[in-house]
Structure 1
């Protein structure tokens, strides 16, 4: 300690210590000054970047996508760290159909070092949407499956996958994906699940696999008993197999579930009863439907049946009932005019057609 003190008492050594002390002080001050200038410069750049970003948002709200792209591009040129701006820019490119640029932006985000998992998942989702918009379905599936691995319950990812499976008519995977969506969200998913089973049944029928078709239609009905499409197609399948009574039973379910759609079953029932050489049940069915339904189409169907049976007055009565329910039902007015003309009642037919003209969406006839 004494030696150190003796060394310090030397004038040259004191000057050296003073120089070192002054250098440290000046270095600290210079560092603080440079740090302040850098921080000030960063704040200015951040303000400029934010200003461009918010201007871009305003242009989006005013539906000026080109100007929005210009402002977002300025923002990322000033501050390339803001992932949100890149995301918005990519979305704009996708909306304009510039898929290549959108894809490059997503890929640049994914490849960033130290990117958080949430941002990476978001970029993978957007990449999948870009690929789908560009028609690259397999790549879209790959990107969304990568996102799903990172977040298995992400409803946006599942929704994106479901849409792609629909595009590809991959009904089996669409059904499985909707089941996952149903587990993670509220609401009634039965009608969608039933629809996919109907589509699977139709695909089986196209391949000639009647057993698969029947199984899928029945599964659709077990999922959603009110699925009209399933009942109609199941009836069609029975008709194809010449099981006419089962076909009639399936089609009558449509009337029980939704009387307003009984017209969808009418032609089918007529065909089945025709094959059974007994059309009387068709009339009974239609009269029953007309009595219990406030649907104009049902009365129209009964009118056509009565017309074919040469009961012209009965047909006109049913057409009048249809028009009372729906005055704009121009097909009924046209059919009524045809019947009246056939009976030689020209003045009444002319009146019916005069009523028809205002209902037609043809400006020069009005």
Structure 2
């Protein structure tokens, strides 16, 4: 009777086990430099909901990570990703974020790369509309949530216990997190100090650890096989212009592209989203305020993490569209309360703020009601260049 040879099966299982449980950093060399370069302005959610490409990017000094939200996708010719292709200055902006990636989502991003962030430079764009009374909701959190990053947080030994506990409490407020019973058990083991939750978390830790590793390997596989096509919207006419000339050029572009309305909003957006319902939008922000919000607590976690890693960060404070917010009856005095608060909030922890709030009435600074564009990007380009060149 012929004996079954289990040798190949056992070898395959051994290799699988090694690949599954070996530290993921040993697999990062599988990701080519070209993959990272193509991801810099691809704005692929798989990249910023993962960890591998971000860690690989932070190993290369040529990249300047830019964390933000929906403004990052406004890739006109003045956008840093395109401007610095026309005018190379020793760094490449690497975009991390899309609509809804507010402070908690970006904290998760930063926490997963805590080792790689040490002594690096990053840019973080702050949007006023994040700081509503409700703060980040399920609608905006769920599409940007990363199961991998949540499991990474559970096993992150670099995060201080108080910070990890605060983050775990925040995560448990969202439905998409609570649907994962394994993760919920692990997070409750962090947030509760009693033995019942502690032992339940310990009991499922091997399963959570294995699942985290599976998610890591999936992320690395996606990074290796990703086929991002580089985006180019470069205007060669911007090459070697002085800053004054560049501001004039951007102003002319804004003038040409926003002729249909008095708010400086790009025609295409105004005509399709606003014009037909303009009367009913009068005063729709009359009761809003950006003074009190759970967002401040989420932002504080980011500041604390960056202090821990000695990261040099430039926070860019974006204004709102002044004429539009006047029409919406969100008064300038109330807006100024937010601008002052956010600047003081960040500066108290020793971080630099590029405060652009004085430009909310500048024509062609904003591209729509809340997103920076044209001249606004030029101001940010100049701030980025100064920040990168500074010691």
| Shorter-chain TM-score above 0.5 | no
TM-score by length of 1: 0.22
Q: Compare the two structures and name the one with the higher strand fraction.
A: 2
Q: Which has the higher contact order (CA 8 A, sep 6+)?
A: 2
TM-score norm. by structure 2 comes to 0.21
